[in-house]
Amino acid sequence: MSAQHNHQRPGAHSAPVLDIGGEVGALVVYLPDRTPTGELEACPGGEPAARFHTGVHHRSTPNGWTWTAVFPEVTEGRYQLLDDAGVPMADVTVTGGNVHQLDLR
């Protein structure tokens, strides 16, 4: 038996659900373009083997449309965002109960 991996695209006016509080925060990353894979990877600082990912979607913002990755549930700590080759391209610290925004455009 094999497991299916389905990706559903959000609608033009959909909003992600964030699961924050206590030691859990969220991270919103604005990107200049869609990534080649359609996903953005992150990992705890210095632990590339513990990487995790989220989809990159074209979302409406107050300043127009932009490519956006939303990590809705991230345990507080220091993280690295990884490029498509797995190389760190940005560092960010997430604190519990907060939504952090990182603009890479």
pLDDT in tens, 35-61: 999 999 999 998 989 999 999 999 988
* Distant-in-sequence, close-in-space partners of 37: CB < 8 Å, separation ≥ 6: 84
pLDDT in tens, 22-38: 999 999 999 999 999 99
User: Which amino acid is it at 56?
Assistant: V
pLDDT at 6: 46
The domains of the chain are located at 24-103
Assign 16 a pLDDT band (cuts: 50, 70, 90). confident
Count CB-CB contacts under 10 A for residue 90: 13
Query: For residues 21 and 66, is the Cβ–Cβ distance under 8 A?
Result: no
Domain spanning 24-103: which CATH class is it, in words?
Answer: mainly beta
Region at 21 (left for phi over 0; alpha for psi -120 to 50; beta for the rest): left
Phi, psi of 104 (to 5 degrees): -105, 15
pTM over 0.75: yes
